[in-house]
Amino acid sequence: MTALTPVEARQLLWQMTRIRRFEEKCIELYSAGKIRGFMHLYNGEEAIAAAVMPELRDDDNVLATYREHGHALARGVPANAVMAELFGKREGCSRGRGGSMHLFDVSRRFFGGNAIVAGALPMAAGFGLADRLRKQDHVTACFFGEGAVAEGNFHESANLAALWKLPVLFLCENNLYAMGTAIERSEADTDLCEKARSYRMRAEPVDGMGVLAVRDAARDAVDYVRRGNGPMFLELKTYRFRAHSMFDPELYRSKAEVDGWKKRCPIDRFRREGIAAGLFGAADLADIERRIDAEIEAAVAYAEAGTWEPVEQLTDDVYARRPVEDGSSR
Amino acid sequence: MTQSMRVTYREALRQGLRDALLQDPRVFVMGEDVGRYGGTYAVTKGLLEEFGEERIRDTPLSESAFVGAGIGAALNGMRPIVEVMTVNFSFLALDQIVNNAATLRHMSGGQLSVPVVIRMTTGGGRQLAAQHSHSLEGWYAHVPGLRILTPATHEDARGMLLSAVLDPDPVLIFEHALLLNVEGDIDEQSHPVDIDRAAVRRSGRDVSLITYGGTLGKTLAAASALAQAGIDAEVLDLRTLRPLDTAAIVATVGKTRRAVIVDEGWRSGSISAEIMARINEHAFYDLDAPVARVCSEEVPLPYPQHLEEAALPQVDKIVHAARRVSAGRA
């Protein structure tokens, strides 16, 4: 493990806790009917987004899935804009049109928010191709779940990225369940790194519940990809503490299993380790919680005060040039 | 003053690709066998030698990955032209086209732009049976966010490529395979063409024949035959199926009061049905007779020549439909 300063330690703890508190607030707001649609929470997996994003530069590209609140927040999309998006308000980071599954912020090179499993992987290869053709040393970080490994798009994209040595970092968040299907019930070979290696891509398994393990692996992988060695694959072994979405009765796994994983909570663990190592004390922890509470409270107020996009703008942005005659007027 | 030159449709397409590659360094071409092999239909022959491997890229047989990579590269500042061998193969990339290319501008609140061009051959008449012969451009025309171009003339085959590259939205170009060897004239000078409006290819008073792409030639031949029978047909080439030039359709029907739609797609749920609906919505009281259609028969296209010919729109069927619609003419 590379050195950890108290400042970085507090930053990591703050980011993980912030994502957790944000998600907890989302549950409350969902129950209150403020947030609608499909919503997928990141509880339990926070170490990954919190530790990977600081290893990326502002000019790198990030693509994520429909379970991306944490990625957006960690990438720097303001909590206000994320919360307003969940409310469907015009002040949201996608103008309210995307909702929970489709967060975008081009100014931070955060390109969604894709709700088709493995749907972003081909595009990630294209982002890498564009950077390679222009001789830019940008990295494209593409997050996806282990369910995506069963899709053809994973295999086609991995092959293309390796064949053309594209600067793409494939970040597989293996939370063991594709919705309700356990990995051993869907993969003939559950060693995901082996699949990536079969495309001659460097691949490493990582303890996704350990924020420092993720940080170190991401630092090494980003450096490897940025140096022009081609793509790399990280399997981040993790677990989601909540159901797949708000509509999931969780009939496919036992409470004992979930409770067992909760004992490995990345936030609790890092808090304990940090206190033991003298990286932060009680006052720091209280300060972190206070700042997060204030930020989330402000985000909810911002979203509440947000406005609805006027219906007259319903068909804006379907095309850059509005069609001369689209026949929709009658 | 520009000179004109005589070329095949294939050469016009190639010239359009060269125009785009020469004008904009962000343009590159990728697809199956576009380089070494020289293009499945020889459209890209010679481009690898002229522009090199970075800009003329052979891809694996991974339609979803390389179409998606085109979308990603477009999002990241390039102007890719992706070749898909035939419309039937494009369904392997349907997810990328419909779920990503078509949605991203609107779903991101107008932040994203997807200036990708996707070309493919379409249409029957070569005894290639039921997985290489269909005309499914009408399906794509169902989707808001896409521009659907169907060049029927040599000038359009060349100019539409440049116009498509200049367009900030995803553009799909459907090139009818039977046109590839047909000769025609183009200007020596390259120039983009209008991609918003239909064009009247033959002016007439008695009946409007509305078509696009591969059936324009058959429709013009039918118009000549009708002229000998004393029926003066107007031929409207739609050129763009989405957005559909409703004003041009209404104008020609308003002029002749009778219409036959010629569409190589199947009739159920087709672009021909959409055109009939628009006529019904906008020009019902101008009609002197029910609108007729000549479409492909509702079967997977068969291999034997006599059956394939029977399944496709032919000159005699168009003539027959036009005469039927014109019966009882004042």
Say if A244 falls within a structural domain.
yes
Question: Cβ A321–B169 below 8 Å, yes or no?
Answer: yes
Could you say which of B153, B187, B221 is where a domain stops? B187
A21 has pLDDT over 50:
yes
Long-range contacts of A221-225 (CB under 8 A, 24+ apart): A221/A169, A222/A55, A222/A56, A222/A60, A222/A139, A222/A141, A222/A169, A225/A139, A225/A167, A225/A168, A225/A169
Say if A329 falls within a structural domain.
no
SS3 A74: helix
Question: Cβ B281–A330 below 8 Å, yes or no?
Answer: yes
Q: Mutate one of A60, A82, A156 to test the B interface: name it (highest B CB count within 10 A).
A: A156
A1 has pLDDT over 70:
no
Question: Cβ B109–A95 below 8 Å, yes or no?
Answer: yes
Say if B163 falls within a structural domain.
yes
Domain that holds residue B315: 199-326
Say if B192 falls within a structural domain.
no
Percent of chain A scoring above 70 in pLDDT:
97
Question: Cβ B109–A97 below 8 Å, yes or no?
Answer: yes
Question: Cβ A159–B65 below 8 Å, yes or no?
Answer: yes
Dig out the tokens for A163 from the structure: 């064949």
- The beta-carbon neighbor of B72 closest among A124, A133, A134 is A124
- A12 CB-near residues (< 8 Å, 6+ apart): A50, A51, A54, A211, A212, A215, A270
* Residues of A whose CB is below 8 A from B245: 324-325
Whole-number Å distance between alpha carbons of B66 and A205: 28
* Helix and strand totals (H; E) in chain A: 11, 8
| Domain count within chain A | 1
Q: Are residues B27 and B141 in the same domain?
A: yes
Question: Cβ A61–B144 below 8 Å, yes or no?
Answer: no
Say if B21 falls within a structural domain.
yes
Percent of chain A scoring above 90 in pLDDT:
94
Dig out the tokens for B227 from the structure: 């002229």
Question: For B95-100, what is the mean pLDDT?
Answer: 98
* Closest CA of chain A from B4, distance in Å: 30
Say if A320 falls within a structural domain.
no
Dihedral angle over CA of A151, A157, A159, A164, nearest 10: 180
Q: Are residues B34 and B88 in the same domain?
A: yes
| Longest alpha-carbon distance in chain B | 63
Question: Cβ A318–B112 below 8 Å, yes or no?
Answer: no
Q: Read off the pLDDT of residues A244-282 as tens digits, 9 standing for 90 and up.
A: 888 888 999 999 999 999 999 999 999 999 999 999 999
A325 has pLDDT over 80:
no
- The beta-carbon neighbor of B99 closest among A116, A126, A321 is A116
Q: Which of B295, B146, B287, B297 is nearest to B211 (CA)?
A: B295
Q: Read off the pLDDT of residues B127-145 as tens digits, 9 standing for 90 and up.
A: 999 999 999 999 999 999 9
Q: Are residues B141 and B67 in the same domain?
A: yes
A14 has pLDDT over 80:
yes
The domain that contains A57 carries what CATH number?
3.40.50.970
Question: Cβ B73–A126 below 8 Å, yes or no?
Answer: yes
A3 has pLDDT over 90:
no
- In the structure, what pLDDT confidence band is assigned to residue A330 with cuts at 50, 70 and 90? very low
**Chains A & B: contacts with CB separation below 8 Å:** 164
- In the structure, what pLDDT confidence band is assigned to residue B32 with cuts at 50, 70 and 90? very high
B110 has pLDDT over 90:
yes
Say if A258 falls within a structural domain.
yes
Say if B51 falls within a structural domain.
yes
Average pLDDT, chain B: 96
* Residues of A whose CB is below 8 A from B281: 327, 330
- The beta-carbon neighbor of B65 closest among A127, A160, A321 is A160
- In the structure, what pLDDT confidence band is assigned to residue B329 with cuts at 50, 70 and 90? confident
Q: Are residues B179 and B231 in the same domain?
A: no
Q: Read off the pLDDT of residues B209-254 as tens digits, 9 standing for 90 and up.
A: 999 999 999 999 999 999 999 999 999 999 999 999 999 999 999 9
Question: For A32-56, what is the mean pLDDT?
Answer: 97
- In the structure, what pLDDT confidence band is assigned to residue B328 with cuts at 50, 70 and 90? confident
pLDDT of residue A328: 47
Instruction: Please name the residue that has the structure tokens 């068969």.
Output: B302
For CA atoms B307, B308, B309, B313, the dihedral sign is: positive
B298 has pLDDT over 50:
yes
* Closest CA of chain B from A222, distance in Å: 19
Q: Are residues B61 and B92 in the same domain?
A: yes
SS3 A99: helix
- The beta-carbon neighbor of B246 closest among A133, A318, A325 is A325
Q: Are residues B26 and B168 in the same domain?
A: yes
So what's the ipTM on this one?
Answer: 0.95
- The beta-carbon neighbor of A116 closest among B62, B67, B95 is B95
Amino acid at B102: A
| Helix, strand, coil abundance in chain A, percent, nearest 5 | 50, 10, 40
* Closest CA of chain A from B131, distance in Å: 21
The packing angle between helices A282-305 and A79-87, to 10°, is 40
Q: Are residues B78 and B160 in the same domain?
A: yes
Amino acid at B218: K
* Closest CA of chain B from A127, distance in Å: 5
* Residues of B whose CB is below 8 A from A125: 65, 68-69, 72
Nearest-CA residue of chain A relative to B25? A134
**Which residues of B are annotated as catalytic?**
63, 132
A116 has pLDDT over 90:
yes
Q: Are residues B12 and B140 in the same domain?
A: yes
For chain A, the straight-line distance linking the first and the last C-alpha, in angstroms and rounded, comes to 65
Percent of chain B scoring above 70 in pLDDT:
99
Q: Are residues B161 and B310 in the same domain?
A: no
**What's chain B's length in residues?**
330
Average pLDDT, chain A: 96
The total of other beta-carbon atoms located within 10 Å of residue A159's CB is: 18
Q: Are residues B314 and B212 in the same domain?
A: yes
Domain that holds residue A167: 6-313
Question: For B74-101, what is the mean pLDDT?
Answer: 97
The domain that contains B259 carries what CATH number?
3.40.50.920
Tell me, letter by letter, the H, E, C secondary structure of B24-40.
CCCEEEEECCCCCCCCC
Dig out the tokens for B305 from the structure: 């020549």
Say if A39 falls within a structural domain.
yes
Return the H-helix or E-strand segment holding B241. strand B240-242
* Residues of B whose CB is below 8 A from A327: 244, 246, 278, 281-282
- The beta-carbon neighbor of A111 closest among B75, B109, B197 is B75
pLDDT of residue A329: 42
Q: Are residues B18 and B127 in the same domain?
A: yes
Could you list the beta-strand ranges (E) of chain A.
61-65, 110-114, 140-145, 168-174, 177-178, 181-182, 202-207, 232-237
* Residues of A whose CB is below 8 A from B97: none
* Residues of A whose CB is below 8 A from B78: 129-130, 133-134
Say if A321 falls within a structural domain.
no
B10 has pLDDT over 70:
yes
The domain that contains B11 carries what CATH number?
3.40.50.970
pLDDT of residue A324: 66
| Domain count within chain B | 2
Say if A326 falls within a structural domain.
no
Strand pairing of B207-211 and A140-145? unpaired
Question: Cβ A122–B167 below 8 Å, yes or no?
Answer: no
Q: Are residues B181 and B241 in the same domain?
A: no
* Residues of A whose CB is below 8 A from B273: none
Question: For B166-176, what is the mean pLDDT?
Answer: 98
* Closest CA of chain A from B107, distance in Å: 5
Say if A187 falls within a structural domain.
yes
* Residues of B whose CB is below 8 A from A89: none
pLDDT of residue A108: 98
Q: What is the DSSP letter of A319?
A: S
SS3 A37: coil
Return the H-helix or E-strand segment holding B186. strand B183-187
Instruction: Please name the residue that has the structure tokens 């790399």.
Output: A232
- In the structure, what pLDDT confidence band is assigned to residue A326 with cuts at 50, 70 and 90? low
Whole-number Å distance between alpha carbons of B322 and B289: 11
Say if B84 falls within a structural domain.
yes
